[in-house]
Amino acid sequence: MTRDSLRLPSLTAALLAAGLAVSATAQAAPQGLYSADELLDADVYAKANPDQSIGEVEDVLLDDDMRLRALVIDTGSLLDLGGKQYVVEAGQFKVETRHGERIEDIEYRVTLSLDATSLRDQPEYTDGWWNQARESMRNAWSETQEGAASAWETTQEGASKALDRIGQALQSAGESAQKAAE
């Protein structure tokens, strides 16, 4: 499976419908709506050196809830990073909107909280990473479902025991009232 075949066919529509969770990390005031088409190929900078681009946004990764999980940063051959693509999780970058009044003029600038050296420590965007990330997400979901089922069973068991105790208390109170009445 190639990287291009992993892209969602209607990424722009999906991100617009999902309200792209980048707004919480935007440097300027949150815009409320972001264009995935314009975010792709946006220049990427390291916070430590905001004047030198270290790459561009190659892809946008979404989870099952269509929330932004990560950006794929293509370094080309900049900064001796070897032209690799790295996965940078949400929370490790900020998106700044420039010229946002007209859709034709929108530009995004992505600033990483990482420096160029730390970017190299991020996972590379490969088939191996993709498959491992998908499996990890499936396992997390499965564990969440199992945990929820276990919590439900525990709640039902606790409620049943409480109702039994209440029933016994009411029966005892009724018997005491009947004895007192005799």
Chain segment 38-53, per-residue pLDDT in tens: 899 999 999 888 899 9
| Amino acid, single-letter form, for residue 100 | G
For 79-115, how does the pLDDT look when each residue is reduced to its tens digit (9 = 90+)? Answer: 555 678 999 999 999 999 888 788 888 889 999 999 8
- CB contact at 8 A, 111 and 119: no
Pick from 6, 132, 136: nearest CA to 72: 6
Instruction: Specify the 3-state DSSP secondary structure of 128.
Output: helix
Q: How far apart are CA 24 and CA 39, in angstroms?
A: 16
* Closest to 80 (Cα-Cα) out of 116, 42, 124: 116
Coil, strand or helix at 168: helix
Residue type, 15: L
- Average pLDDT of the residues of the chain: 77
Distance between CA atoms of residues 81 and 71, nearest Å: 17
Closest CA to 94 of 50, 37, 124: 50
